[in-house]
Each structure stands twice: as C-alpha cells, then as structure tokens.
Chain A
Amino acid sequence: MELINKKGVRMDGRKPDQMRDVRIEAGVLHRADGSAYLEWGGNKVLAAVYGPREAIPRHSQDATKAVVKCRYNMAAFSVDDRKRPGPDRRSQEISKVISEAFENVILTEEFPRAQIDVNIEILEAEAGTRCAGLTAAAVALADAGIPMTGLISACAAGKAGGHVILDLGKAEDNYGEADLPVAINHQTGEVVLLQMDGDLSQKEFDQALEYAIRGCKEVHELQKAALMKRYASHNGGGEA
C-alpha cells in the first residue's frame, strides 16, 4: 500500500502538512451545562459537560479543588467491527490522559469538593478520536462556563510512507510508521497531552511536533469561532 506518492500526495489527496476538514458546533444539547459537536474527517464526536457539582462518592472529594472526571466512550456502531459497549482498557487510558490535560487548565481550586464531568462520545471513529474528543470537550467546557486558564486543543502528527505528516487518516494510522497525538494550552504554548508510538528520528520528531502544534493552532481558531457563533447575539450587554 502506497500511503503517500512520489509527489507527496496522500491517499485521500491531502498534502503532508494538510489537515482533514474540521467542523465544530457549540451548545448542541439541551440538558448538559455545556456541549459541543465536532466532525473531523470521518470522526463524529459529541461532548457534554456537567458541573461543577458535589463530588460523589464522598471519598472522591478533594477539600482543596474540584476533580475532573472525563469519560471517553466509543459507540458500539462507531467502528467497522462492533465494539462491545462499556469501558475497556483503551478507553480508560484515554479518559485518564484527557482528564489530566483538562486538570491542567481548569481553575479547579475555585470549586473545592466538587467534580466536573466531561463526557466524550465517539459516534463514528476514523483515526484521531482522542484528539477530536479532547477538542470537542474543551469547547463544551467553555460553553459550560467552567473557568480555565485557556482553551486546549489537540492534533496528531506522525509518519507514513517515509514522510512526516499532519493529522493521520485511517490507513496512515493503521499502516504508518508513527503516531504523535499532542494537546496544547494556547495561552502558555505548553504541552498538556503527549503520546507517541512508532519510530521517529530526532529530526522527524521535531518536524512532527511542529506540525502537530500547527494543527492544534488551526483547530483552536475553529474552537473560538464555534464559541463566538453560539454567543454571537450577545453584543456587549445591550441596555443593561
């Protein structure tokens, strides 16, 4: 399988440093305190935030800050071979690293003894669901009015067919040489999520990281636009 041809064109027609199409909508659910829907290539993701609210069970409370409880879940029908419903080891790991990324930016000390629930539902999966999920959840958190030092966003880079590429597609994820999901806090420019598997030289890693950060920035603009659109009518207080 040729993942990228001699002209540097990828299987789906993208250039090495080109992202798939991303579409974000904020405030799509009625009951949730904050929500967002995101399509990223063939990924379809819904995120909903509840809280802050008193942490239960009691022993999970932290007297000094809120705990962030992230739940990443894949719908049974989101993948080619049906996934058994419920948490597996993979989704628990992803939930953990995403929770930690958000703990970094949420001003948790404003809500001692509370919990903030971040639910990420992968309705359809096509490579890069953790980045898509995290990006959607950040919009949902802002929509819920949760105080944060900044919006975070995620994007993967990697290597396939010998080339460093941005935002791996399905085949590139399955058959490529390396995958490097990254999340960035845009206010500080610091990394809040980083995973990698495969094989990259130092030089390739440097380029992949640069690509990923550039991807995060692109996604960040879309996150901001989605939030602005949701609250567009709020033109500065009117007559109040």
Chain B
Amino acid sequence: MIPGDKIDDSGRYKAGPGTYFIGRDIFASRLGLLAERNGTLGVIPLSGVYNPRPGDLVIGIVTEVGPSNWMTDINAPYPAPMHSSETPWKIEFGETAEYLRPKDAILCKILFVDENKKVQVTMKEPNLRKLQGGQVIEISPAKVARVIGKNGSMSALIKKYTDCWMFVGQNGRIWVNGDLPMIQATIDTIRLIEAEAHKSGLTERVEAFLKERAGAPKVPTTPRMEAEVQ
C-alpha cells in the first residue's frame, strides 16, 4: 500500500491504523502492508519512527539530569521525562545524578501519552532497571515485531543458540549481553532479520545462520525475563 491507495469502498470495514476515510471509502495513509482484523482494515507500516503507546517497554538513553527528574531519548519524536518517584529508588531532591547520568541506558515503560503526545516513562516495576554491560543496537521500529517473532518465538530461537540476555524494546533499541562472541552472533542475527524482515522462510534462514555463527544450542544459563516476551 502506498499513501492515497484506495483500500475499500464497500462500507463493510472500519478504518484502522495507517488509514483514513472519506465517506465510505478507506484509503492508505502510510507505506505498508494491508491487514484486516475483526472488521477493521489497517496498514502495517514498513518504515517510520517509533510512536509511543502506554505500556510499551522501551530502552531509553538519559540525555539530561534535573533535580527531580531525567530527560530520556526513547527514539521517538518526543523526549520522555522520568520523575525521580518513578524509579525503584528513594531519591532525595537534587540527588538524581547519583542514580542515573547522561548516556546511561535504561529499561523503562511508557507510563502515559497525553493528547499532546507528551510522554512520561517509568522504571517502577520489576525487571525495569539501568542496563549494564553488553551492547545496545538500534533497528527500524517497524521491524521489532519480526525480531520478537510470534509469541516471542524468534527471540527465543536466538537465545537458544547464543544463551544471551536479550531485551527488544518496542522503540527499536535492543540490548544484548552474554559471552562476547555470542553477543556478536546475536547482533549479526538481528541484522539479518532486519535486512530480510518481510521475506518468507525467515525462521529457517535465521536458524541456519545461528548454527553457523553460534554452533549448537546452549544449555540456558541466563534467566528469562518477563519483559522479554511481549
């Protein structure tokens, strides 16, 4: 679908994300693939920036420290502040910098998005934390769903072979930690998925690639995090 393409004129469907309507005609507003779900037609985008939704788990990078909050970059159109009360820590006024500094990466959750698209994030939940070690990479947010796979099948496959910690943020940032060669194998696998995101037979190719790069499946040593499967 290309912006302006007419998707339907039957009047039987509702216009979903990535579409708009004039009268009973539904048109695509974004470049992407047509999908129908429960009587709603939508366009699954193939590109574009991350659009935050409440409840999304994302990786933020701290850009500024204020006396009672931080500003984070969540790879979205808008920077996302986080108040010091939205953390697992008890923080006195003015002591924010002792906990998080600029360039620190955090695992956080979109707390809310208001009608003006003002965003706030929180770390006040189990598993949300400051990330340490490993590597953070970025992929197109439109391809996040492919890296996670159906019910987390793709990320589970990667972990089976590399035994790495892996957290895939909805905003396209991915944190990987584990043995150094396995981190690299994981990152290379993610790049392969990104390059071939919408081709068929992806799972088979990914598994073949993992066998070549990471060898046999590993006995898991890393705990599975609830946050991983979305």
Q: Which residue of B45, B78, B145, B146 is within 8 Å of A145 (Cβ)?
A: B45
Chain B interface size band reads 35 or more
- How distant is the Cα of A148 from the Cα of B27 in the complex, in angstroms? 10
Q: Is the interface of B mostly helix, strand, loop or mixed?
A: loop
A149 touches B77 (CB 8 A): no
With a CB–CB cut-off of 8 A, which chain B residues contact A240?
145-146, 149-150
A-binding residues in B (CB < 8 A):
2-4, 18, 20, 27, 29-33, 35, 44-49, 77-79, 116-117, 142, 145-146, 149-150, 196-203
* CB closest chain-A residue, reference B201: A238
- B3 and A236: CB pair below 8 A? no
The reply to whether B2 and A53 contact each other, CB–CB distance below 8 Å, is no
Instruction: Confirm or deny: A233 has a beta carbon within 8 angstroms of a beta carbon on chain B.
Output: yes
Min CB–CB distance B72 → chain A (angstroms): 13
Query: Inter-chain contact count A-B, CB under 8 Å?
Result: 108
Instruction: Point out the residues of chain A lying under 8 angstroms from B78, CB to CB.
Output: 53-54, 113-114
List the A residue with the shortest CB-CB distance to B76: A53
Closest A residue to B6 by CB, please name it.
Answer: A187
Say yes or no for A176: interface residue by CB 8 A criterion.
no
Query: Is there contact, CB below 8 Å, between B199 and A238?
Result: yes
| A147 engages B150 (CB within 8 Å) | no
Contact partner, B44, options A112, A142, A237, Cβ 8 Å = A237
Q: How far is the CA of A64 from the CA of B69 in the complex (A)?
A: 26
Contact A146 B79 (CB under 8 A): no
Partner of B18, one of A147, A185, A236: A147
What is the CB-to-nearest-CB distance from B16 to chain A, in angstroms, rounded to a whole number? 13
A3 at the interface (CB under 8 A from B): no
- For the complex, count residues of A whose C-beta is within 8 A of B: 38
B151 to chain A, nearest CB (A): 11
Give the residue of B27, B47, B150 whose beta carbon is less than 8 angstroms from that of A144: B47
**Complex: how many Å from CA A146 to CA B28?**
11
A150 within 8 Å of B by Cβ? Answer: yes
Starting from the known contacts A112-B116, A234-B33, 10 additional A-B residue pairs (CB-CB under 8 Å) come to A53-B77, A111-B117, A113-B116, A142-B31, A143-B31, A148-B30, A149-B27, A235-B200, A236-B33, A237-B35
Shortest CB-to-CB span from A147 to chain B, Å, is 4
The proximity string for A residues 198-240 relative to B, scoring 1 for CB distances below 8 Å and 0 otherwise, is: 0000000000000000000000000010011001011111111
Q: Which 10 A-B pairs have the closest CB atoms?
A: A145-B48, A150-B4, A234-B198, A187-B4, A238-B200, A145-B47, A147-B29, A148-B3, A52-B77, A114-B77
Residues of B within 8 A of A233 (CB): 196, 198-199
B31 and chain A: residue at smallest CB distance: A142
Chain B, residue nearest A234 (CB): B198
Q: Is the CB of B30 within 8 A of A147?
A: yes
Q: List 19 A-B contacts (CB under 8 A).
A: A34-B47, A51-B49, A53-B77, A107-B20, A111-B117, A112-B117, A114-B78, A146-B30, A147-B18, A147-B29, A148-B30, A227-B2, A227-B31, A234-B198, A237-B35, A237-B44, A239-B201, A239-B202, A240-B149
Q: A107: which B residues are within 8 A, CB to CB?
A: 20, 29
Interface centre among A34, A51, A146, A185, by most B CB within 10 Å? A146
B201: chain A residues within 8 A (beta carbon): 238-239
Known: A114-B77, A187-B4, A187-B27. A53 touches B200 (CB 8 A): no
Nearest residue (CB) in A for B141 is A145
> Shortest Cβ distance from A34 into chain B, in angstroms?
7
Closest B residue to A223 using CB positions = B2
**CB-defined contacts of A231 to chain B, threshold 8 Å:** 31, 46, 198
